Amino acid sequence: MNFLKKEESEYTTLLGNLLLNKKIINKKPFKTYLWLPKGKAEKVHMYFYLDNYEEYKDLSILNKRNINNLCFEAYESKHKFIMTNILMGTMTISPKAGDWAIGYAEISFYKHLLNIYEFTVNSTNEFIFNFSKSNYLKSSYFEFNNYNGEKSLKSKDDLKFDNLSHLNINKITVDTSPTQNQFKIDFLTPCKHFLQFYKSRLPIVNYIFSVMTFIEHRKVDFYKTYGVINNIPINYYIGNRMYKEEYSAYEMIDFREFDNFFKVILSKDLEEMKFLNKIITRFNVINNRNNTLENKITGLVYLLERIIRMKGANPDHKQKFLKEENIFCDDLMDIKTIKNVRNCISHGHEELPPTDLLLVYRNVEVLMQRIIIKELNWNFENSILSPSYLKEYNPFYGKRMTFKGNRKCLEGK
């Protein structure tokens, strides 16, 4: 199958159906190739194999209607697969002869994928999340070389956090080694249904990995979850995320402070975590290294205004908000200048030199990071956001714009 991204042997082959409002809509089951990640952070992907032009035509009609509650369901020996909120991607088919054709349809998006085992087990309250590499969330271990040159694990000390009853958690364990990265949460009570997992378990994990992405400036996230819901084992994959191993641009918190930092961010209750996750996730998306400087500047200023609104203040009075929230910004570029540069970019009044755009971006980035760090109840002085650190290591710290053109836009006139 030359349309497959991986070797055919790596795929689970299924016969499955498309459902709309819980009703099967295809005339016969689709032959389906489903790839599930095993050892590293990658996104699940799936194809329908098409050998009939009518199937292709029916899927094309569905695709044009852009239905957002289309689901997929399939059964295998002792397994049930449910994929929700499917969207079609690339589709192609080539007629061969008569009613014979060969083609495929790729699933470009899904929201949830549940692999449900068709048997029951003894209840366990632990959920295990396989996640991508983190500079902070890792075990301490020691390896040695065997006589044959192979490495063996001699000793290992996992990260452990407890006293989390306010989150219905007994303990959190980070268990990593050269061959695995597992984030384990042992809850105080068993999970009775998927909605409970989605509303009270998953937000905690999303929040934690958003914070890790924030302090490492690279994507840190889970790609697979194993747990037990109502005595039935499940594997869970989330579909509206991309996973890509990236190097860490910096570590915001000193490694010696991380245990204390992690305990502080876990002191939040569930609703606070949901609120902060919205802010931090948005910051991480805007501040992605692949974004342009213009998009980062405009996005971060809009995010600041959104935070001000969420806190019930007036976004036109940014300086007043920063003062009331005790956000130290005396050492940064004036917020009025940053706002006016955003307006320049948005309205295309002036083309600013790249060095000035980079300078403005670095200032608004530090400002937003200090706001988020404060929301996490951490002192920015104990991070790379402190004035002393920036003065020594950030070449843009304390610099002024060099722009010599018409300054009316920059001055807000």
3-class DSSP state of 135 = coil
For residues 227 and 126, the answer to whether their CB atoms sit within 8 Å is yes
Longest dimension (CA), the chain: 76
Say if residue 214 is in the same domain as residue 89. no
Task: Give 94-114 as a DSSP string.
Answer: EEEETTEEEEEEEEEE-SEEE
Say if residue 130 is in the same domain as residue 253. yes
Q: Considering its fold, how many domains does the chain have in total?
A: 3
The reported pTM is 0.91
Say if residue 158 is in the same domain as residue 210. yes
336, pLDDT greater than 60: yes
Say if residue 102 is in the same domain as residue 218. no
**pLDDT, position 383:** 96
Q: Enter the tokens of residue 83.
A: 């994929």
pLDDT tens by residue, 128-183? 999 998 999 998 766 666 656 666 666 568 899 999 999 999 999 999 987 889 99
Say if residue 210 is in the same domain as residue 161. yes
410 inside domain:
no
Which whole number is the average pLDDT over 31-58?
Answer: 89
50 inside domain:
yes
Task: Name residue, tokens 């080694």.
Answer: 177
413, pLDDT greater than 60: no
Of residues 188 and 60, the one with the higher pLDDT is 188
**What is the extent of the structural domain holding 306?**
291-393
Single-letter amino acid, residue 142? F
381 inside domain:
yes
- Of the listed ranges 68-72, 103-107, 329-333, 345-349, the least confidently predicted one is 345-349
**pLDDT, position 346:** 84
Q: Confidence band (pLDDT; 50, 70, 90) for 228?
A: very high
286 inside domain:
no
**pLDDT, position 281:** 96
Say if residue 184 is in the same domain as residue 91. no
404, pLDDT greater than 80: no
285 inside domain:
no
- What dihedral angle (degrees, nearest 10) is formed by the CA atoms of 83, 88, 89, 94? 120
| Cα 405 off chain centre by | 40
Task: Name residue, tokens 């192609």.
Answer: 92
For residues 151 and 145, the answer to whether their CB atoms sit within 8 Å is yes
For residues 373 and 382, the answer to whether their CB atoms sit within 8 Å is no
3 inside domain:
no
